[in-house]
Amino acid sequence: DFESVIEDVTPGSVKADTNFKKDIETWDSLAVLSVLAMIDSEYEKVISGEELLKCNTVQDVYDLVASKS
């Protein structure tokens, strides 16, 4: 759940097409680490920071995690 791990994000505001680099003001290195930890914890998948930084939208991250099966 992206909204719960990124600071100051309004619940319900993050959609599949949300560009977190442009649309989320608090997207920073701490947010990246938080999302990586959430993916590892909730989905038991490990992705690198480099892989995450190549993603632009929530859908991109979902597709990346799905590809790690």
Would you say 10 and 16 are in contact if contact means Cβ atoms under 8 Å apart? no
* Residue-level pLDDT at 50: 94
**Statement: residue 2 has pLDDT above 80:** no
Token code pair at residue 45: 């998948």
Q: Which pTM was predicted?
A: 0.85
The C-alpha atoms of residue 35 and residue 14 are separated, in whole angstroms, by 13
* Residue-level pLDDT at 67: 95
Q: What is the pLDDT of residues 7-62, one digit of tens each?
A: 888 888 899 999 988 999 889 999 999 999 999 999 999 999 999 999 999 999 99
